[in-house]
Amino acid sequence: MFRRTTFAIAALALSAAMLAGPALAKPVVIKFSHVVAENTPKGQMANKFRDLVKERLGDKVEVEVYPNSQLFGDNKVLEAMMLGDVQMAAPSLSKFSRYTKKLQLYDLPFLFTNMDAVEKFQKGPEGQHLLESISSKGLIGLGYLHNGMKQLSSSKPLRVPADAKGLKFRIMSSDVLAAQFKALHATPLKKPFSEVFTLLQTKAIDGQENTWSNIYSKKFFEVQPYITESNHGLLDYMVVTSTEFWNGLPEDVRAEVKKSLDDAIVFGNKVAAEKALGDKQKIIDSKRSEVIELTPEQRNQWVEVMKPVWKEFEGQIGKDLIDAAYNSNK
Ligand code: SIN
């Protein structure tokens, strides 16, 4: 009796499963990890990418976005990518020096006069070639994303380079940025982005450099009474994935994911341009921080002090590459 009932239950379960049809294939999951807030160019780009992939690939691919260093901070994300724990990220170009010295180019102070020059260089042959500079490490550069020009925030007004002497500045993990602050006779400290607000709030450091959108979205302006509009350097990103993951995707899926990413980047770049103006204005309106504009003479002093850094890194980056980037200003 017992055996007959068990058999009947099993048969019922089987026919129910057959009615339900074949088991559904699981979607490919793309974990996209980043360190900034959602209301930033990178945050908005990542969310747009997630939405476009859902719209175009339905249940085949699912993008999960993890903002604000929730999943991985700056220092761990690329290692995690190679272990397969995360599939996409867009670290700042300043955070690749363990993988290639070539990308240090983008950290040279006063290299690009504006974002049009950056765009021109990145779309040109040298810029495109740099996307492949990490391929020997098992990583693929899928595209660039803009944030914008960096400004200097500080506990005291910075009008000329001598004002920065003796101050401690947080920097991203870049030797070029370290050399830039040493040229000012200041002390650079390489720290993860997630620690910057607390370091500033507790006065463990005196200042930092960042874009208007990062200064606004992470509330640095609330703990930094002065921001000098120096536009002295660039903060842009490279969207990366691992070669193993990317090549493992079916060709048609890979093409659609790439197209969605390209479209999301176009969107993110528009957000970047808007936020460079809008977030600066919001900071001014808040009256929490005074925005200092430099006179042409003051600006020239910063250029004169910082530009010798180019020579220091010419051997690692390559003079041809520096020239090509500089020529994009014409
Ligand atoms: C980012 O924009 O991804 C972070 C930049 C920083 O570390 O300052």
How many residues belong to the chain?
A: 330
- Give the residue carrying structure tokens 């765009």: 119
User: Following DSSP, what letter does each residue of 158-177 receive, concatenated?
Assistant: -SSGGGGTT-EEEE-S-HHH
Task: Tell whether 40 is covered by a domain.
Answer: no
Give tens-digit pLDDT for 69-92.
Answer: 999 998 899 999 999 999 999 999
Question: Would the CB of 35 count as within 6 Å of ligand 1?
Answer: yes
Q: How far is the CA of 172 from the centre of ligand 1 (A)?
A: 7
Residue 66 belongs to some domain of the structure: no
Q: What is the pLDDT of residues 201-244, one digit of tens each?
A: 999 999 999 999 999 999 999 999 999 999 999 999 999 999 99
Instruction: Return the residue whose CA atom lies nearest to atom 4 of ligand 1.
Output: 193
- For residue 147 and ligand 1, the question of a CB distance below 6 A is answered with yes
Distance 296 CA to ligand 1 centre (A): 28
Q: Is residue 43 part of a domain?
A: no
- CATH code, domain carrying 287: 3.40.190.170
Contacts of 172 (CB under 8 A, 6+ apart): 74, 92, 94, 95, 190, 193
Ligand 1 pocket test, candidate residues 74, 219, 275, most atoms within 8 A of CB = 74
pLDDT tens column, 122-148: 999 999 999 999 999 999 999 999 999
Number of H helices, E strands in the chain: 13, 9
Is 64 inside a domain boundary? no
Query: What confidence tier does 22 reach under pLDDT thresholds 50, 70, 90?
Result: low
Q: Looking at the 3D structure of the chain, how many domains does it have?
A: 1
Residue 14 lies in a domain: no
For residue 111, give its domain range.
Answer: 90-327
What SS3 state is found at 99?
coil
Specify the ligand 1 atom closest to the Cα of 196: 8
Q: Would 63 be classed as within a structural domain?
A: no
Ligand 1: which atom is nearest the Cα of residue 40? 2
Determine, yes or no, domain membership for 264. yes
Please provide residue 62's backbone torsions phi and psi, each rounded to the nearest 5 degrees.
-125, 125
- Dist. CA 256 → ligand 1 center (Å): 28
In a domain, 55, yes or no: no
